[in-house]
Amino acid sequence: MVSSNNFKTGMTIEYKGDIFQILEFQHVKPGKGAAFVRSRLKNLRTGAIIDYTFKNDEKMPTAQIDKRDMQYSYSAGEYLVFMDTETWEQLEIPQEKMTNELNYIKEGDKVTIIMFQKEILGIQLPDKVTLEVVQTPPGVRGDTAANATKEATLETGLVIQVPLFVNEGDKVIVSTIDGKYSSRA
């Protein structure tokens, strides 16, 4: 059990039947009345971020989150198959839980699977990934207005804006946080 007075950023708690990660918190001591803890929480099942106020010294259980490094093997219909590289154990995750993450992973990539007990909450991606450009129109010579960009389709199917000098076959670094071009690899 953890008290709201002992919150730390990044801590995970069980509250009202869900699992939350504490993104930020603030202890408030008003002039009148009891102290309280104002917090911003991320629901690890839905991804929703909520603001919640706890009473001073309110107690709740901590949630033990397990992280396992696994390799993305292949897509099998509605499921994505991941393999533990140490035990060779395979894990199937429904594709609908990973719609955004599929834009950034390809077969053979290593990812971190986030689990609570036996429940799979999702995968943790690196901040940036390297992907190959499979389709983009050629840059037009002389079209160098400030920060001119063009569309490029990457090997995972993700479509992003890239500078005019990027060509098919180039490898680019993409941010998984906002899905934007970062640089050439």
What is the block-wise mean pLDDT of the chain (185 residues), using blocks of 10 residues? 88 90 91 90 87 91 89 87 88 82 87 87 86 85 69 90 88 89 85
| Domain finish residue from 40, 60, 80 | 60
Q: Domain of 55: which CATH number?
A: 2.30.30.30
Produce one character per residue of 130-153: b if its CB has 16 or more CB atoms within 10 Å, e if not.
Answer: ebebeebeebeeeeeeeeeebebe
Same domain for 21 and 43, yes or no, is yes
Same domain for 117 and 137, yes or no, is no
Same domain for 41 and 11, yes or no, is yes
| Domain finish residue from 77, 95, 124 | 124
**143 and 156 Cβ atoms separated by less than 8 Å:** no
Q: Domain of 136: which CATH number?
A: 2.40.50.140
Predicted pLDDT at 37: 92
Predicted pLDDT at 26: 92
- Owning domain of residue 179: 128-184
Same domain for 100 and 77, yes or no, is yes
Which residue from 104, 110, 111 is spatially nearest to 158, judged by alpha carbons? Answer: 104
| Domain finish residue from 44, 60, 76 | 60
Same domain for 141 and 153, yes or no, is yes
Q: Integer distance in angstroms from the first to the last C-alpha of the chain? A: 46
Q: How many domains does the chain have?
A: 3
Predicted pLDDT at 143: 59
Residue 25 neighbours by CB under 8 Å, 6+ apart: 7, 9, 37, 38, 39, 40
Same domain for 85 and 119, yes or no, is yes
Which residue from 47, 46, 52, 48 is spatially nearest to 15, judged by alpha carbons? Answer: 52
Same domain for 116 and 163, yes or no, is no
Cα–Cα separations (whole angstroms), residue 103 to 16, 40, 42, 130, 172: 32, 28, 22, 12, 14
Same domain for 88 and 54, yes or no, is no
